[in-house]
């Protein structure tokens, strides 16, 4: 298949591109830094710098949209929130515009989202039909999804991936945790009762392949493992894998003034379940946390 990808140079995107190339797909990646991207991605991948200049005669079988500035990358000022929105909603709008002027429409758009769509709902199990709680992460994901949904007017199959915390080597949310935990300085965050919906990178990449190959699947999918854990369980498991104690919690009273509104990402959580992938018979290589952590770390 000929694929157009945004966000292809990030932690997830680099691995997805490698996996797709290995399966024989032809890729074009949108990037603002072609020189940097060339040093990261396979030589066979075409680099595109401007969607607005992409000719409508160009044909792609599918588009994968992973665009977006890191949500934890800075304090949530009004300016930062606008950057987060524009990097997701703005790029998605340009993709929809490209589809609209394409002479031959792609068959599929896989567009990113996150389990943050649901907001913090405590212990409530959340499948893809659950409503969101009105907070910034929900607003961000809702607008992102709503923009992507406009592609349906052109007869394009749409899959929205509400992604959890992706466990992989050399990056992602796990990387900054490893050093303090290896030094025995790790511990739960806040009460530790908030839920963490995680997924191993291998399973996450397999989800993309399944959506590309199975044209009966469309709509919203929680891209998470079937066994989410609380933050307390996650930190205790990580410490056990590293043979270290987990005795130094990060209290909420300290995080809130330092992080401001961003502290919601650490002190809240989602107990998201991949109901639709399970209904489709998707096989998880890593359904449980400890084997997943061992594979990534050891």
Q: What is the pLDDT of residues 182-196, one digit of tens each?
A: 999 999 999 999 999
pLDDT value at position 222? 98
Contact 262, 247 (CB under 8 A): no
Q: What is the pLDDT of residues 24-39, one digit of tens each?
A: 999 999 999 999 999 9
Q: How far apart are CA 117 and CA 18, in angstroms?
A: 28
pLDDT value at position 259? 87
Q: Taking residues 114-126, what's their average pLDDT?
A: 96
pLDDT value at position 53? 86
CA nearest neighbour of 148 among 265, 49, 67: 67
Residue 254: is its pLDDT beyond 90?
no
Q: What is the pLDDT of residues 91-100, one digit of tens each?
A: 999 999 999 9
Strand runs (DSSP E) across 195-285, as ranges?
Answer: 195-196, 198-200, 219-223, 229-230, 271-272
Q: What is the pTM of this model?
A: 0.95
172: buried, middle or exposed (CB in 10 Å: 19+, 13-18, 0-12)? middle
Contact 199, 224 (CB under 8 A): yes
pLDDT value at position 118? 97
CA nearest neighbour of 208 among 12, 11, 10, 2: 12
Domains by residue range for the chain, with CATH: 2-297 (3.40.50.720)
Instruction: Please identify which residue in the block is written with the tokens 């079937």.
Output: 226
Parallel, antiparallel, or unpaired for β 195-196 and 229-230? antiparallel
């Amino acid at each position: 298949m000929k694929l157009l990808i945004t966000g292809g140079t990030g932690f997830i995107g680099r691995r997805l591109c490698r996996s797709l190339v290995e399966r024989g797909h032809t890729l074009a990646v949108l990037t603002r830094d072609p020189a940097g991207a060339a040093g990261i991605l396979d030589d066979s991948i075409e680099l595109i710098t401007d969607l607005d200049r992409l000719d409508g005669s160009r044909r792609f079988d599918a588009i994968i949209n992973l665009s977006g500035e890191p949500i934890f990358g800075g304090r949530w000022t009004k300016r930062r929130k606008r950057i987060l929105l524009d990097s997701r909603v703005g790029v998605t709008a340009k993709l929809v515009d490209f589809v609209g002027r394409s002479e031959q429409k792609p068959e599929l758009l896989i567009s990113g989202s996150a389990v943050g769509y649901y907001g913090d709902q405590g212990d409530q199990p959340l499948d893809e039909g659950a409503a969101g709680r009105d907070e910034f992460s929900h607003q961000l994901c809702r607008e992102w999804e709503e923009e992507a949904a406009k592609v349906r007017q052109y007869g394009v199959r749409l899959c929205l991936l509400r992604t959890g915390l992706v466990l992989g080597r050399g990056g992602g949310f796990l990387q900054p945790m490893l050093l303090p935990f290896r030094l025995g300085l790790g511990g739960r965050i806040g009460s530790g009762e908030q839920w963490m919906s995680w997924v191993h990178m291998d399973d996450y990449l397999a989800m993309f392949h399944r959506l590309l190959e199975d044209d009966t699947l469309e709509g919203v999918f929680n891209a998470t493992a079937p066994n989410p854990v609380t933050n307390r369980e996650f930190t205790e498991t990580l410490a056990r894998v590293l043979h270290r104690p987990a005795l130094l919690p990060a209290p909420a009273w300290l995080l809130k003034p330092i992080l401001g509104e961003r502290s919601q990402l650490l002190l809240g959580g989602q107990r998201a379940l991949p109901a639709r992938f399970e209904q489709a018979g998707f096989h998880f290589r890593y359904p449980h946390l400890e084997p997943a952590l061992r594979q990534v770390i050891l």
